Amino acid sequence: MKLRAAIARLQALFRRRKLDRELDDEILAHLELAEHDAVAAGLEPEEAREAARRNFGGIEQMKENHRDRRSVRWLSNLQRDFRYGLGSLGRDPGFAAVAIGLLALGIGANSAMFSIVDAVLLKPLPFSEPERLVRVWESPPGGRNGTTTLTFLDWKRQTDIFEALSVEASTRAAVTTDGDAARVSGKEVSADYFQVFGVKPQIGRTFAAGEDQPGASPVVVLSHRFWRTQFGGDPGVLERDLMLDGVPHRIIGVLPAGAFDRDEAVFWKPLIFAPAQLNRGQHWLNPIGRLRAGVSIEQAQSRMTALRATLNDVIYQKDWGFAVDPFAKQLVGDTLRRSIYLAFGAVLVVLLIACANVANLALAKGATRRKEMAIRAALGAGRARLIAQLVTESLVLCLLGGVTGVALGALMLRAAAPLVAASLPFTADLSMDLRVLGFAAAAVMAVLILTGLLPSLQTSFGKLSDAMNQGARGSSGSGAAVRRTIVIGEVAASLVLICGAALLFKSLAKLQQVDAGVRIDHVITMSADLPMAAYPSPASATTFYEAVVQRLQAVPGVERASVSQGLPLQGVQWGEYLSVPGVRNSLTARVKMVDPWYFGAMQIPIEAGRGIESRDRVGAPPVVVINQELAGALSKTFGIANPVGRTVGLDVPGYGPIPESQVNPQIVGVIRSERTAGLQAPPELVAYVPFAQAPRQDINLVVRTRTEPAAAMPGIREAVREIDPNLPLGDVRTMEEVKEQSMLWARQPTWVVGAFAGVAALLAALGLYGVLAHAVTQRRREIGIRMALGARPGDVLSHILRSAFSMLLVGFAAGLAGAFALTRVLKTLLFEVSALDPSALAVACVLMALVGMLAAWIPASRAARVDPMAVLRDEG
């Protein structure tokens, strides 16, 4: 019954006109009947009408009572204010457009950014019971390392801990459709891989137990996107085979759309361990597991520690333990987390400044409406009622701004998603979902408080006579002080952002200037994977790359071609022990395989001895070339001053599934260090092993061209096709692009913060302009009198500019204090730039001052053009 009444009351809000009309009809009928009765009782018609009226009581009073009774009073007030608010916005479309635009910009940018924050940092992973997902490691003191095949198999048997435990290894394969080979990325995984993630296929099935054992027939699972693009979403795909490196694989299932649609893998096939991989020497596996229900991370950890104790006899690394980490922990690195927080902070500041501007506009409008408010107050409206009216008017603004903002945010997100996707973990699903809308609603509420409630509290509802008099006098009043304070706050907040942006840009510039140790220009790179079927032996791989390099050398425009494993700035895959015979100590060095032309193609100078040469082949004495860093480390660790000619012990990875084995190469040369791990990382210790003595299937081609690198690509493709028509080339990039990608982590937050800082500065300038323009308009008479008394236009101009400058100065003081507070956040994101770098901060101040003075110039010059005669005539 209660509910029914409540619904009826709410309905009454929207059926107001109809209900009023019905009531009027009833009243008329009532009076008519009463009059009729009275006449029947013998009264004169005139008397009868009067009696009917008298007996009825006050009609208007009753109607008001009727409205109150049938509806909810505050709601119907709200409704009226809302209509009134819409009307008053319509009367001042300029103000409405600016305010809604500002709020939409702020809320839109915040919603888009929040979607990223939510997807990367807040939302649970898009898998069932994600808290049960773990990564399992071997743990050297203070670190994490991959594990070996046999140890992994030991772990897999711990079924009381893990419901499923699986590994994944990235792989690539040539997919041939209609005679054209394309290289696609995939993963080799354990059979229970999809159980770990709790992912059910959309059609077909995933791997069955045993399909990752030797002798199982080849099967493959496709990603949803690959199924759509490659097979047109054919539901009969399960009858078909996928040719991977020329080997038919039966398609057994297609995954659902979502988290598994990503560029790094479009197909999954079982990882079958080769007999040679069944060892405890090669730490190449990174297992992901699903804990059994009810097993906590701590319990899993303690059981794994107990297991480790029983394996002490077989594990070589005696001081390594086993470790279990939550899966989510690994996904978001510190740099990304900080960058996202920084960008989110910046966008919040933009919203604050936008709010400040709207509040300022509202205050200026409030000053001009003081008369209206005073009249209303004089007519008996309570202070609360007037505030409610003002707040409702801002509510209209905020809602319009919010709706526009969410639409704008969706557009921003759609534009930004492809740009940032590569920097985010694969689990991040960027979308304007309910959570983002909830955030936007909360933002609208906060904005409402900032732009509606606070300014309306500031508006005085004083005496009518005061308001009338003040209006006539045209003075700026006490509201002006509040508005100046708000502008100072805006200047301070935007200065903080500009300082941050200036520091980040300086850091980016420094990063860009770092000498990569290789010549970046005119180099094009690509990658290829030699399939095991076509290149079963190390010798076959060597033959291939020698033929390719020779053939490429003949392509017009090519200056130098070479083959390596890995590219500069992208990290070196292998890290191995390096020892000196007779010494217990050892070093860990990165091991990179390069052919005899790599140093030449990359223009890496040889500092001592020689580079790698064609004579360093299988059967010839093993050799190694080291970089200066490693030479320095050898001198420090082993006291070897002149390394050339010395023999060292070094583990070198084998071909295909063959594990690494120790060789004893002679150091034949020292080269100047190239940056292997990115521009920001100090050079690593690197040992270069001849490709011919340690061939790989996963190779990079590096080609230095005489002309525009892209122009040489058709010739390069043709040349490779002549050697192997079935081998597709992938990752075609110039070295410049490789460098750009290696700097993405720094570039993206820099540009995002830079863009927000720019917007913030413009908004602050707009605020400054607004306050000064308003002041000039209000003080027109004063300025006119001053000029009539002899002030020159220049004096007026400098007077206004001085007042702007004093606001800017106070803002700068506060802003710089804010920038100091920001130091801690920024520090880790800056490269070789102090978070208090004076030149960057100075540039920021100068920029802000320029923008601010420009904003002040327009109203100031208008003030200087005031014609005293016109002003005095107007107001006389």
Partner 1 sequence: MSESKTEVPYGTLDLLILKTLDTMGPMHGYRIARRIEQVAENLLRLNQGSIYPALIRLEQQGWIGTQWGISETKRKVKFYSLTRAGLKQLSIEVANWERATALVARFLEVEP
Asked if 826 and 342 count as a contact pair (C-beta separation under 8 A), the reply is yes
* Residue with smaller CB distance to partner 1, 62 or 419: 62
Binds partner 1 (CB under 8 A): choice among 42, 46, 57, 418:
57
* 832 is a site residue for partner 1 (CB under 8 A): no
Handedness of CA 133, 139, 141, 144 (dihedral sign): negative
Residue with tokens 């809602």: 399
* Closest separation in Å from C-beta 48 to partner 1: 13
* Residue with smaller CB distance to partner 1, 70 or 827: 70
Binds partner 1 (CB under 8 A): choice among 5, 41, 384, 434:
5
* 45 is a site residue for partner 1 (CB under 8 A): no
How many residues in the shown chain lie near partner 1 by CB under 8 A? Answer: 31
Q: Which two tokens stand for residue 260?
A: 């598994």
* Residue with smaller CB distance to partner 1, 31 or 332: 31
Q: Which two tokens stand for residue 261?
A: 């649609």
* 69 is a site residue for partner 1 (CB under 8 A): yes
* 14 is a site residue for partner 1 (CB under 8 A): no
Q: What are phi and psi for residue 4, nearest 5 degrees?
A: -60, -45
Binds partner 1 (CB under 8 A): choice among 15, 16, 70, 551:
70
* Residue with smaller CB distance to partner 1, 33 or 314: 33
Q: Which two tokens stand for residue 625?
A: 């070339």
* 838 is a site residue for partner 1 (CB under 8 A): no
* Residue with smaller CB distance to partner 1, 70 or 551: 70
Which range touches partner 1 (CB under 8 A), out of 49-57, 109-117, 344-352, 581-589? Answer: 49-57
* 59 is a site residue for partner 1 (CB under 8 A): yes
Binds partner 1 (CB under 8 A): choice among 37, 50, 698, 740:
37
Which range touches partner 1 (CB under 8 A), out of 31-39, 703-711, 794-802, 803-811? Answer: 31-39
* 29 is a site residue for partner 1 (CB under 8 A): yes
* Residue with smaller CB distance to partner 1, 2 or 318: 2
* Residue with smaller CB distance to partner 1, 10 or 306: 10
* Residue with smaller CB distance to partner 1, 26 or 466: 26
* 56 is a site residue for partner 1 (CB under 8 A): yes
- With H, G, I as helix, E, B as strand and everything else as coil, classify residue 168: strand
Which range touches partner 1 (CB under 8 A), out of 24-32, 193-201, 783-791, 847-855? Answer: 24-32
Which range touches partner 1 (CB under 8 A), out of 22-30, 86-94, 290-298, 510-518? Answer: 22-30
Which range touches partner 1 (CB under 8 A), out of 8-16, 165-173, 184-192, 813-821? Answer: 8-16
* 22 is a site residue for partner 1 (CB under 8 A): yes
* Closest separation in Å from C-beta 33 to partner 1: 4
Binds partner 1 (CB under 8 A): choice among 16, 49, 66, 551:
66
* 75 is a site residue for partner 1 (CB under 8 A): no
Which range touches partner 1 (CB under 8 A), out of 15-23, 165-173, 487-495, 502-510? Answer: 15-23
Asked if 651 and 493 count as a contact pair (C-beta separation under 8 A), the reply is no
Binds partner 1 (CB under 8 A): choice among 27, 153, 387, 453:
27
* 30 is a site residue for partner 1 (CB under 8 A): yes
* Closest separation in Å from C-beta 36 to partner 1: 5
* 18 is a site residue for partner 1 (CB under 8 A): no
* Closest separation in Å from C-beta 27 to partner 1: 7
**How far from each other are the two terminal CA atoms of the chain, in whole angstroms?**
68
Query: If we measure between CA atoms, which residue out of 494, 501, 492 comes closest to residue 814?
Result: 492
* Residue with smaller CB distance to partner 1, 67 or 303: 67
Distance CA 697, CA 530 (A): 5
* 34 is a site residue for partner 1 (CB under 8 A): yes
Residue 278, class by beta-carbon neighbours within 10 Å (0-12 exposed, 13-18 middle, 19+ buried)?
A: middle
- With a CB cutoff of 8 Å and minimum separation 6, the contacts of 660 are 281, 282, 574, 576, 651, 652, 653, 654
* 293 is a site residue for partner 1 (CB under 8 A): no
How far is CA 808 from each of CA 306, 347, 837, rounded to the nearest angstrom?
65, 22, 21
* Residue with smaller CB distance to partner 1, 33 or 850: 33
* Residue with smaller CB distance to partner 1, 55 or 302: 55
Distance CA 40, CA 257 (A): 83
* Residue with smaller CB distance to partner 1, 5 or 789: 5
* Closest separation in Å from C-beta 16 to partner 1: 12
* Residue with smaller CB distance to partner 1, 28 or 442: 28
* 9 is a site residue for partner 1 (CB under 8 A): yes
* Residue with smaller CB distance to partner 1, 69 or 473: 69
* Closest separation in Å from C-beta 31 to partner 1: 9
* 13 is a site residue for partner 1 (CB under 8 A): no
Alpha-helical regions (H) of 779-792:
780-788
Alpha-helical regions (H) of 595-743:
598-601, 628-638, 709-723, 735-742
Q: What is the 3-state secondary structure of 815-873?
A: HHHHHHHHHHHHHCCCCCCCCCCHHHHHHHHHHHHHHHHHHHHHHHHHHHCCCHHHHHH
Write down how long the chain is. 876
* Residue with smaller CB distance to partner 1, 8 or 182: 8
Q: Which two tokens stand for residue 186?
A: 């995939």
* 25 is a site residue for partner 1 (CB under 8 A): yes
Query: If we measure between CA atoms, which residue out of 829, 836, 766 comes closest to residue 333?
Result: 829
* Closest separation in Å from C-beta 4 to partner 1: 5
Binds partner 1 (CB under 8 A): choice among 20, 44, 47, 68:
68
Bridge partner list, 243:
248
The angle, 0 to 180 degrees and rounded to 10, between the axes of the packed helices 93-117 and 383-420 is 50
Residue 441, Ramachandran bin (φ over 0: left; ψ between -120 and 50: alpha; else beta)? alpha
Query: If we measure between CA atoms, which residue out of 375, 456, 397 comes closest to residue 92?
Result: 397
Cβ-count burial 578-600 (b if 16+ within 10 Å, e if not):
bbbeeeeeebebbbbbbbbbbbe
How far is CA 242 from each of CA 181, 252, 859, rounded to the nearest angstrom?
12, 10, 71
Gyration radius of the chain's alpha carbons: 38
Binds partner 1 (CB under 8 A): choice among 20, 26, 718, 867:
26
Distance CA 871, CA 876 (A): 8
Q: Taking CB under 8 A as the rule, which mask of x and - marks residues 88-117 in contact with partner 1?
A: ------------------------------
* Residue with smaller CB distance to partner 1, 62 or 854: 62
Cα atoms found within 13 Å of the Cα of residue 424, Cβ hemisphere only: 21
- With a CB cutoff of 8 Å and minimum separation 6, the contacts of 144 are 137, 138, 323, 325
Distance CA 468, CA 28 (A): 44
* Closest separation in Å from C-beta 28 to partner 1: 7
Binds partner 1 (CB under 8 A): choice among 55, 128, 540, 662:
55
* 62 is a site residue for partner 1 (CB under 8 A): yes
Sites for partner 1 among residues 397-426 (CB under 8 A): none
Type of residue numbered 573: Q
Asked if 461 and 374 count as a contact pair (C-beta separation under 8 A), the reply is yes
Which range touches partner 1 (CB under 8 A), out of 25-33, 380-388, 414-422, 713-721? Answer: 25-33
Question: Could you tell me where the beta strands, DSSP code E, fall in 498-585?
Answer: 523-529, 558-564, 574-579
Tell me which residues touch partner 1 (CB under 8 A). Answer: 1, 4-5, 8-9, 12, 19, 22-23, 25-30, 32-34, 36-37, 55-59, 62, 65-66, 68-70
